[in-house]
Amino acid sequence: MSDYARVEIGVLGGGPAGSCVAQRLAELGHEVWLIEQSLFPRPHIGESLTPAILPLLDQLELREIMEEAGFLRPHQAIIHWGGELRIKTYEGEPGLQVDRGRFDQLLLESAREAGVEILQPVRVTSAMRLDAGGWQLNLNRAGRTELLQCEYLIDASGQSVVANKRKRLGVATLALYGYWKNSGMTGPESRVEAAENLWFWSAPLPDNLINACVFVDPKTCSGIGRDHLEGFYRQQLQGSSLLAPCLSGTLVDNPMPPVNHSPTGPITACNASASYSESPVSEDLIRVGDACVTLDPISSQGVQSAISMALQAAVVVHTQLSLSERGELAAEFYRQRQQETITRHQRWASRFYAEQAAVTASEFWQARAAGHEADGASDLTISPETTPLPRNTQLMLHPAASFTALPILKGDLVTSAKALSHPSLERPIAFVEHIELVPLIELLTTGDTLEDIVEKWSHRVPAQSSLRILHWLWQRRLIQRSSGY
């Protein structure tokens, strides 16, 4: 690269979100340069990946590579929570327990092979939106200043040089973690445990390493200097029935802590509070990964969510650059996906925290469980239908159902489609089993029987698909018995 260059798309950050969005956009024919300030492989917390990662790796055609990388494949997790010890067994294929340094490097190499230009190690010192459109990035490569202009900017850097107003979700949380060797802890399972005013998590890694993490209220550590933080960390581990065996091993120094994490000798402290960007997308900027949403760590879904949103972001950017008239539609699609991610994970986290709050009346747990009762009621004002779908009874669409326009993904673009809205649905639904729903519902006439509906839909979908869709509608009370017949 010379002292000045122009490119269509610039990506800030080479973590999972940055690598995946860059790869997908390159595959869609865009010119993409990715800027990463750290050399790889780099250590990074977030090693436990649930089975939900596998379909995403399939989309990226990376499952085989990851399965051959030697990562552990846990079939279960050990959980001491809500006053009881239990084993959570994953259904179907197991997830991955990865070395994040190796995992992230494989993702970055895949992006390079797809045609992404990788600038590494290069630091972005400033990012400025230009009056004529696009962005100018000031880069520092080994002390040398360079300029890069891009038409579109993707912020995948977590805490970026690009202004990013954020809102915190729930209470503040601090993570203290270290890597232990020869601890005597065996098995590929991750471990999660609740204590009086904190909780623990650990993940076994290749090479006989264990990552042991303590999640605390930041105020707990406010008066502890860096020289004494390791002692505090060890003291907390002593109170854990699942993680205390780590103390019989050796604490391994981490010479290259992740970006924006504060090194404290062999112990790393980092902000683990859930938060989100209040401006996730515009006409020439989109945020992915932690720059968009940082999930509560109890979910163990951070990497999966980052990759999922990166793949959605790639379609949004592709739409904005290819069909400018759909720019705002694409942006609204991404805003809706961000809000769904926030709502889904916060509901799950508060429900999980409420299990512990029910047996521990400490402020730590009560604060994290706040809002659970309201979320428990959610929007399901109509209870699910449990009786079988009647074959000869005349049916009708529920009076509370309505139609609305919804931005959706169709192929590699964002488009608009009619969607069904109803109080029993968390959001409007456009597709069931990849079949457009509203065109089918528009064919319904009050008083139709099941056989009538299957016959009407027969020129659009097979009979078995019709029956499954009808059962789906019936169970959610989107269709009901016709009272007038």
Q: Name every residue whose Cβ is closer than 8 Å to that of residue 336 and which is 6 or more positions away in sequence.
A: 407, 427
The secondary structure of the chain in percent helix, strand, coil, rounded to multiples of 5, reads 35, 30, 40
Per the CB < 8 A criterion, the answer to whether 51 and 45 are in contact is no
pLDDT digits (tens, 9 = 90+) for 337-360: 999 999 989 888 999 999 999 998
Burial of 255 (0-12, 13-18, 19+ CB in 10 A): exposed
**Which amino acid makes up residue 348?**
W
Across 418-423, average pLDDT: 93
Confidence of residue 262 (pLDDT cuts 50, 70, 90): very low
The proportion of the chain whose per-residue pLDDT surpasses 90, expressed as a percent, equals 65
**Predicted local distance difference test score (pLDDT) of residue 182:** 85
**Predicted local distance difference test score (pLDDT) of residue 236:** 95
Confidence of residue 368 (pLDDT cuts 50, 70, 90): very high
Q: What mean pLDDT is reported for the chain?
A: 89
β-pairing, 117-119 vs 32-35, is: parallel
**Predicted local distance difference test score (pLDDT) of residue 370:** 84
Q: Is the pLDDT of residue 416 over 90?
A: yes
CB atoms under 10 Å from CB of 398, counted, come to 17
Query: DSSP for 57-77?
Result: HHHTT-HHHHHTTT-B--SEE
Across 136-143, average pLDDT: 92
Q: Is the pLDDT of residue 150 over 50?
A: yes
**Predicted local distance difference test score (pLDDT) of residue 160:** 67
pLDDT digits (tens, 9 = 90+) for 6-26: 999 999 999 999 999 999 999
**Predicted local distance difference test score (pLDDT) of residue 389:** 87
pTM of the model: 0.87
**Predicted local distance difference test score (pLDDT) of residue 423:** 87
**Which amino acid makes up residue 110?**
S
Across 108-132, average pLDDT: 95
Confidence of residue 255 (pLDDT cuts 50, 70, 90): very low
Across 313-325, average pLDDT: 98
Cis peptide before 121 (omega within 30 of 0): yes
